[in-house]
Amino acid sequence: MTETNDGCLRVGQMAPDFNATAVVDQTFKSVKLSDYRGQYVVLFFYPLDFTFVCPTEIAAFSDRHAEFKALNAEILGISVDSEFAHLAWIQTERKLGGVGDLSYPLVSDIKRDISAAYNVLDTESGVALRGLFIIDRDGVLQHATINNLAFGRKVDETLRVLQAIQHVQDNPNEVCPVDWQPGGKTMTPDPIKAREFFAGV
């Protein structure tokens, strides 16, 4: 595991822990990242409740939540809104721009310290960019992407990356090549043994 002292979050480091209020099943609950040790966590930041791209992402992840749970993973959505704004948004129907009932917690980062810790806070606008982080069972950050505000992410790609992470952790003598899908060919990271993979492509 890598450690740095420059304040920049990088893959291979422990993911910054946090303790914050979340909306879970339309109730307020204290959530700590460290509560999910032993599970994978897909932590994604989005700019604001009651906006435009955000509800499409949040609803899409909720609709596919069972697929993540089957992979021993929990999803946590987070923005700089209060838990009260989250609750109001959840209580608003999707056809009216709300997100409806969700299958995973929406976390409030009203003090913006979590967004800052994950290096996604846009200080000019005061909101988080679309950061997505996959954290493994030991709390280590394995994947990070950050989109600008105007375009959303892809649930299928998040699932694919999660599955690739799990595959290489369960099979430490293998690596996953480009566009790898579960059941696809992997590679042995050895200059001689890798020739078998390259000979087949």
pTM for this structure? Answer: 0.94
Q: Please state the domain count of the chain.
A: 1
Does residue 54 carry a catalytic annotation? Answer: yes
183 in a domain, yes or no? no
201 in a domain, yes or no? no
Q: What is the mean pLDDT of residues 42-51?
A: 98
Q: What is the mean pLDDT of residues 5-34?
A: 92
11 in a domain, yes or no? no
85 in a domain, yes or no? yes
179 in a domain, yes or no? no
Q: Which of 42, 54, 107, 128 is catalytic?
A: 54
Q: List pLDDT tens digits, range 129-155.
A: 999 999 999 999 999 999 999 999 999
188 in a domain, yes or no? no
Q: What is the pLDDT of residue 3?
A: 39
Residue 35: domain span: 19-153
Angle at 105 between CA 17 and CA 122, to 5 degrees: 60
Dihedral angle at the C-alpha atoms of 71, 73, 74, 79, nearest 10 degrees?
A: -120
Q: What is the mean pLDDT of residues 20-26?
A: 98
Q: What is the pLDDT of residue 1?
A: 37
Domain of residue 97, CATH code = 3.40.30.10
Provide the residue type at 126 as one letter. Answer: G
Q: List pLDDT tens digits, range 74-85.
A: 999 999 999 999
Tell me the average pLDDT of the chain: 95
36 in a domain, yes or no? yes
Q: What is the mean pLDDT of residues 21-36?
A: 98
170 in a domain, yes or no? no
Residues in the chain: 201
Q: What is the mean pLDDT of residues 105-123?
A: 97
pLDDT over threshold 50, residue 27:
yes
